[in-house]
Chains A and B, each alone.
Chain A
Amino acid sequence: MPAVAPAKKTKPLIAPAATSERELAPTFYVVCWNDPINLMCYVTHVFMKVFGWNKQKAEKHMLEVHEKGKSVLAREGVEKAEHLVHQLHKYKLQATMEPAE
């Protein structure tokens, strides 16, 4: 029998740094806005290319842009959101990144 009783396993008071940093890092919505000029088939094509979505998902977001004026395409950290906005603008889609609160 050990002289000292084994220490009780307790939950750490502070979560591991990596997790909390990721959780606390600001995230952004990548939003695509409607305009009358980009063709519907073109917008669907761009969503498939940039996000790797299938046609059904790309069309769903394209229709949301068309009917509701905008669609939230992703929620990402700053670098990834920035990258996605760059990609969408290269195709001349009106995209922005908005802080997710």
Chain B
Amino acid sequence: MKPVKQRENNWQYELATKEKAILQSLLKQFPITELNPVKMSKGHPDAESLDREILLNQALAQHREELKRSAQQLLETSLHQSEGVWHLTLDAAAKEKLLQVLNDIRVGCWRALGEPEEIHEPPKDSPNHIRLWTIMNLAGYFEEHLAG
């Protein structure tokens, strides 16, 4: 994956056929993992902060539904082939959505792996963990190119 054009609010990347297939597969599978509830505060929660936490988790569930639609839209509109080369074309909003989808995948896989501190070594315990670890790294590969 390499950037080929960048105008003010528009980015174009060139993708190898294998990269395009992987990105397509990640977007098609989204969401790959369950949505985990998050905390609003580290301290002991009072009634107000519990209410805030409920609202936050509801908003995140809704946001994930929106991301699901965005992933579908990205699949339909952002990948094009010209002269045998695949291009990913994104405006600013699409780029943010793609980054959020990819990081949802990456963080979701990490959580499903038990939130390990060591993430560079592949797990050896189960084929499912190896699958999750691989997907986590593939999502990170695209993120690095988009955010780097």
Contacts and interface: CB of A to CB of B under 8 A. Distances in A.
Label chain B's interface by main secondary structure.
helix
Contacts of B144: 39, 41-42
A76 to B, nearest CB: 14
Q: Which of under 10, 10 to 19, 20 to 34, or 35 or more describes the interface residues of A? A: 20 to 34
A49 B97 CA distance: 12
B129 interface: no
B107 interface: yes
A91 interface: yes
Label chain A's interface by main secondary structure.
mixed
B56 A37 contact: no
A80 to B, nearest CB: 13
A37 B42 contact: no
Interface stretch (B7-15, B71-79, B83-91, B98-106): B98-106
Interface in B101-120: 103-104, 106-107, 110, 115-119
A56 to B, nearest CB: 16
A99 B45 CA distance: 11
Interface of B: 38-43, 52, 56, 59-60, 63, 96, 99-100, 103-104, 106-107, 110, 115-119, 136, 140, 143-144, 147-148
